[in-house]
Structure 1
Amino acid sequence: MVTGELAHGWAGTESGPVTLVLHGGGPGCHATSDFAAVMAHRPERRWLWVDLPGYGASAPESDADAPPLTTAAHALDCLLTDIGVRNIDVLAQSLGGSVALRLAAERPNVFRRIVAIGSQPAAAPAHRTGSTRDPGLGARARAAYYGGSGPNLDKMRQMIAELEWYETNLVPEPMVRARHSAATTPTARTTATANRTGEDLGDHLAAVMAPTLVLWGRHDPFAGPDYAAAFADALPRGDLAVICRTAHHPQSERPEMVAALAEAFFTDRS
């Protein structure tokens, strides 16, 4: 279903607590590709999956000069208003986590609790000199996948192995093919080639009142656990969990672990 130009759908139990899932920003990412395995581990929840602008079945943003995170956050807010849900939990990967945090900073009644996996919403704090982050890695990965002779299965397989999974020999071939298919639609190509400037949320993090779990893969090449700790410290109610033997997509590589950590955080009464 598409409402307000954002594709979305439901999974799990109709009577369960509504839990939003938002995907990452890599080629071919969309909500069900990123979180199908996690949602399957928690069928008692009422999962609302949403494809952000320019991903999956959602149309790209028409204004290439608009700040991308704020624009996506406002589109998401419109969708949630149309559906009529508020005070919900959100489980989000990378780009999706940054979008959720941008919306939470502006509208504190939207999210009850947030789990942000591998998100990098702001530059590393200047006073945390040991913090490691590679802000240009995503752009280089997209250029490598779409550039040269164009996208193909080998490039997708290599990108997932190098950036998203720790156990590279266990990358499922069906996932490679599904991601490649989703990455080569006209919408995906438009999104990948859009010349959009980044958006730093450093000034907004202090306004995020929702308890937030920063969930990190120990071997995430985009930023290390030191960055994750600084990110969690910048949030008024931030916590941190690091999962060993994972990279940027622990929700795909170790979905049972991610599902258990998210469930424990969502049901925490402290």
Structure 2
Amino acid sequence: MSVTDPGTGTVSRTTVYGWAGGSSGPVTIVLHGGGPGCHSMSDFTGVMGLLPFRRWLWIDLPGYGNCAAVGGGTEFDASVRAVAALLDRLGLPQVDVLAQSLGGTVALQLAAVRPDLIRRIALIGSQPTAHPGGAADFIADPSLGARTREKYYGGDGPSVAKMQDLLATLEWYDGSTIPESTVQARYRSSITPIALAAATDATQRVVPNDIGAVLDSIEAPTLVLWGRHDPFAGPDYAAALAAALPRGDLVVLGRTAHHPQAERPQAVAAVVDAYLTDRS
């Protein structure tokens, strides 16, 4: 399985989704991050390919990949409702979740409002609140995402060179190892009509809510997996988030930044598989 452009999945009202891996057994849904060009296949193709026996359901959130934005309430709430509605329509029992950044916040909110849908969560680089558990003394840059999007889409607009720089400075620890295919796939996804609409119209993109008030109500065991060199927030933030979750666990992975699942997919796959296989 290689990094591909978004999009040969099934459209179901407000979601675009597809299946990968095994044809039977427990389902693990995959939710992507919120950076330019992110979609679930690009964010997690490496990990899914290393665990082909798992039954993966990848989902593109509204405003990303080939999934158009949806209205009603805030865009973030609409994303949570869209994922819940898809799981209900598919008639799935409790699912596991593997999610990156924005997708992790969606997963946590979903686990809070629909605990019947979620069994276990493994999230990577997610910042669902400014101050998890009331903690404040940690390294974080809450405006970095907005500044990154403005820089990428501003000036002369998106380019392959800008995407290479974005991945190298924010998502990977060692930018010299980024495959050209990854850069090209993310760039192509960042210039689709849906992506460009979200770049110019804030109502067309997902803006996460601060869900700190519901973290202590989340019953699902949750793994907080963090890149040691994540520029959005440091391991101290990750530790505070894990501590704020009733059944939170923490793994910090060295030599990685915001996308450890892309840079070190073997390590992430091993940790995630062990965690999601745990039935305790």
1:20 and 2:29 aligned: yes
2:229 to 219, 222, 243: 219
Task: Give the superposition deviation at 1:126.
Answer: 8.0
| Separation of aligned partners in 2, 1:254 and 1:138 | 22
Deviates more, 1:97-106 or 1:198-207: 198-207
1:132 maps to amino acid:
I
Runs of 5+ consecutive residues of structure 2 not aligned to the other structure: 1-9
| Separation of aligned partners in 1, 2:278 and 2:245 | 18
Runs of 5+ consecutive residues of structure 1 not aligned to the other structure: none
2:261 to 251, 259, 262: 251
1:241 and 2:262 aligned: no
Distance 1:199 1:256, change over 3 A: same
Instruction: Check the 8 A contact 2:61/2:67 in 1, yes or no.
Output: yes
Task: Give the superposition deviation at 1:127.
Answer: 5.2
| Separation of aligned partners in 2, 1:47 and 1:126 | 32
| Separation of aligned partners in 1, 2:134 and 2:94 | 34
1:216 maps to amino acid:
W
1:112 to 99, 119, 127: 119
Number of equivalent positions: 268
1:48 to 35, 57, 73: 57
Instruction: Check the 8 A contact 1:124/1:133 in 2, yes or no.
Output: no
1:6 and 2:15 aligned: yes
Task: Give the superposition deviation at 1:125.
Answer: 4.4
- Give the TM-score of the pair, scaled to structure 1: 0.96
Deviation string for 1:127-155 (max 9, x for gaps)? 53431111100000001110001100000
Q: Name the residue aligned to 1:192.
A: 199
Instruction: Check the 8 A contact 1:77/1:103 in 2, yes or no.
Output: yes
1:163 maps to amino acid:
L
1:86 to 82, 89, 93: 93
| Separation of aligned partners in 1, 2:134 and 2:14 | 41
Task: Give the superposition deviation at 1:193.
Answer: 2.7
Deviation string for 1:102-129 (max 9, x for gaps)? 1100011111100010000001248534
| Separation of aligned partners in 2, 1:192 and 1:234 | 33
Q: Name the residue aligned to 1:203.
A: 213
| Separation of aligned partners in 2, 1:158 and 1:13 | 35
Task: Give the superposition deviation at 1:202.
Answer: 0.5
2:197 maps to amino acid:
T
After the TM superposition, which parts of structure 1 deviate over 4 Å for at least 4 consecutive aligned residues? Answer: none
SS of 1:204's equivalent? helix
Task: Give the superposition deviation at 1:199.
Answer: 1.4
Aligned 1:172-191 pairs, distance under 5 A: 172-191=179-198
